Amino acid sequence: MKDVHVGAVQMVSGDSVANNLNRAHALLRTAAEAGAELVLLPENFAHLSDRGSYAAAEHFAEDGVADETQQPIQAALSRWAKELGIWLVAGAIPLLERPDGSPVEGKRNRSACLVYDDRGQLCARYDKIHLFDVDVADAAGRYRESNSIEPGTHTSVVDTPWTKLGLSICFDLRFPELFRVLATRGAEVLLVPAAFTHTTGEAHWKTLLQARAIENGCYVIAANQGGQHSEKRRTWGHSVIIDPWGDVLAEAGEGEAVITAKLDGDKLGTVRQNMPVLDMRRL
Query: For the segment 41-50, what is each residue's pLDDT rounded down to a tens digit?
Result: 999 999 999 8
The helix-helix angle for 198-216 and 176-184 (nearest 10°) equals 30
pLDDT recorded at residue 53: 84
Give 57-75 pLDDT, tens digit per residue.
999 998 889 999 999 999 9
Asked if pLDDT for residue 12 goes beyond 90, the answer is yes
Domain 4-280 sits in which CATH superfamily? Carbon-nitrogen hydrolase (3.60.110.10)
Q: What is the CA radius of gyration of the chain?
A: 17
- Tell how strand 240-242 and strand 219-224 pair up: antiparallel
CB 9 within 8 A of CB 27: yes
DSSP element (H, E) containing 210: helix 198-216
Give 239-250 pLDDT, tens digit per residue.
999 999 999 999
CA angle 100, 131, 243 (to 5 degrees): 95
Kindly state the average pLDDT of the residues 131-148. 95
Give 254-281 pLDDT, tens digit per residue.
999 999 999 999 999 999 999 999 999 9
Kindly state the average pLDDT of the residues 154-159. 98
Q: Which residues contact 165 (CB under 8 A, 6 or more apart)?
A: 89, 115, 157, 158, 187, 189, 190, 191
Kindly state the average pLDDT of the residues 96-119. 97
CA-to-CA dists, residue 252 to 137, 154, 155, 277, angstroms: 24, 31, 28, 30
pLDDT recorded at residue 52: 83
- The pLDDT confidence band at residue 2, using thresholds 50, 70 and 90, is very high
CB 258 within 8 A of CB 251: no
Q: Which residues participate in catalysis according to the annotation? A: 43, 128, 170
Mean pLDDT of the chain: 97
pLDDT recorded at residue 136: 96
pLDDT recorded at residue 43: 98
Backbone dihedral angles phi then psi of residue 2, each to the nearest 5 degrees: -95, 150
Kindly state the average pLDDT of the residues 5-31. 98
CB 80 within 8 A of CB 36: no
Kindly state the average pLDDT of the residues 207-224. 98
Domain ranges of the chain: 4-280
